[in-house]
C-alpha cells in the first residue's frame, strides 16, 4: 500500500490561523477544515487517509487539525464557544503567524507546571477527548444493519422537522434511500430525497453526480448522508453552478446532530471533586 504523507499538526497551525482570518475571524470546524484544505493544498488522497480505520471514520487530517486547534487555544491564539464556533482571540488577530516550535514549547511548559492528575487529562487533548465519543458513535453506526440505519435516518429527519418521511431503498432506484418534505415555518415546503452511505472513507464527486442524476425532476433538494466524509471534488460538485444543489452531511455533522437530538446519545454533567489537605490545620492542633 502506498504511503500517504499528511502534514503534521504543527505545520497546520499557520494555515489554520490564515483560514480563520479569511473566514472573518471565526468559523465552524467544518468551515475551518475546508479552508485549511484549500490553503495548504491538501490532496484528496491525504483527505481520505483515516486516523484509525478500525475505530471510526475520523480522517488523519481532522485528527491533526484538532491537535493544532488545541495547541493554539492553549497558546492564547484561539478560543471556542459552547456552540462549536472557533475564533481568533485579540492576541490571534494581531499575529500574522506563529512559531510552531514556540507554541509546542509553551504547551509543554504548561504541562510540566500542572498537577499530576490535571496533566494526565491534559495529555489527552481537549478536542481529541471530544472526538472519541464521535468515533465510538460512528463505529456503532457502521455496525448497524442497512435497514436499521435507514430507519435511524428517517427518525433523524422527522426529529429535524421533516414530514411524510418514507424509506424506499428499492434496487435500481439510482441509490435513493428515501424521501420527505421539509416545511419551513408552516408556510414553505421543499420535497427532498436522501441517500445514506455507511462509509469509513470518502464519498467521491462521481457518486454525488450519480445521486443528482437520480434526483433530477423528482425533488427540490437532495440530501446525501454518510458516516465518512467527502472529497474536495465531491463538495464542489454538490454546489456546482447550474446544477440542483445537494446538501452534504458527513460523519462528524451526523454525530453532532444525533447528540443534539439525543438519539441514542446521552450527555451527562459529571461533578469533579478536588480534595486538598490543610497542613497548617494539623500542625496547629
Domain ranges of the chain: 13-139, 145-260
Q: What is the pLDDT of residue 105?
A: 93
Are 174 and 211 in contact by the 8 Å Cβ rule? The answer is yes
CATH fold for domain 13-139? Arc Repressor Mutant, subunit A (1.10.10)
Q: Minimal CA–CA distance to 245: which of 219, 280, 284, 265?
A: 219
Query: Model's pTM, two decimal places?
Result: 0.65
pLDDT along the chain (285 residues), means of 10: 80 95 90 92 88 77 92 93 84 92 91 59 50 83 87 90 83 74 81 89 90 86 91 89 89 90 84 76 68
DSSP state of 200: S
Please check whether the domain covering 145-260 is classified as CATH 3.40.1350.10.
yes
Per-residue model confidence (pLDDT) at position 128: 55
Helix (H) or strand (E) holding 38: helix 29-39
Amino acid at each position: 500500500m502506498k504511503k500517504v504523507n499528511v502534514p503534521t499538526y504543527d505545520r497546520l497551525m499557520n494555515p489554520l490561523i490564515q483560514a480563520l482570518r479569511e473566514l472573518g475571524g471565526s468559523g465552524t470546524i467544518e468551515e475551518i477544515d475546508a479552508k485549511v484544505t484549500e490553503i495548504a493544498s491538501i490532496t484528496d488522497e491525504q483527505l481520505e487517509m483515516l486516523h484509525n480505520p478500525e475505530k471510526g471514520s475520523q480522517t488523519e487530517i481532522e485528527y491533526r487539525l484538532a491537535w493544532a486547534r488545541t495547541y493554539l487555544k492553549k497558546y492564547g491564539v484561539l478560543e471556542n464557544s459552547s456552540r462549536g464556533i472557533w475564533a481568533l482571540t485579540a492576541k490571534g488577530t494581531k499575529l500574522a503567524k506563529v512559531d510552531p516550535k514556540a507554541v509546542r514549547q509553551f504547551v509543554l511548559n504548561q504541562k510540566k507546571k500542572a498537577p499530576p492528575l490535571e496533566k494526565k487529562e491534559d495529555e489527552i487533548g481537549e478536542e481529541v477527548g471530544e472526538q472519541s465519543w464521535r468515533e465510538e458513535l460512528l463505529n456503532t453506526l457502521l455496525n448497524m444493519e442497512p435497514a436499521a440505519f435507514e430507519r435511524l435516518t428517517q427518525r433523524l429527519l422527522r426529529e429535524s422537522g421533516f414530514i411524510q418521511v418514507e424509506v424506499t431503498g428499492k434496487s435500481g432506484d439510482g441509490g435513493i434511500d428515501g424521501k420527505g418534505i421539509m416545511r419551513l415555518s408552516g408556510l414553505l415546503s421543499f420535497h427532498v430525497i436522501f441517500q445514506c452511505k455507511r462509509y469509513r472513507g470518502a464519498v467521491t464527486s462521481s457518486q454525488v453526480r450519480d445521486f443528482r442524476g437520480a434526483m433530477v425532476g423528482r425533488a427540490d433538494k437532495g440530501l446525501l448522508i454518510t458516516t465518512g466524509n467527502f472529497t474536495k471534488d465531491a463538495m464542489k460538485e454538490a454546489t456546482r453552478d447550474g446544477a440542483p444543489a445537494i446538501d452534504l452531511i458527513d460523519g462528524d455533522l451526523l454525530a453532532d446532530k444525533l447528540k443534539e437530538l439525543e438519539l441514542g446519545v446521552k450527555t451527562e454533567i459529571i461533578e469533579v471533586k478536588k480534595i486538598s489537605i490543610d497542613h497548617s490545620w494539623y500542625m496547629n492542633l
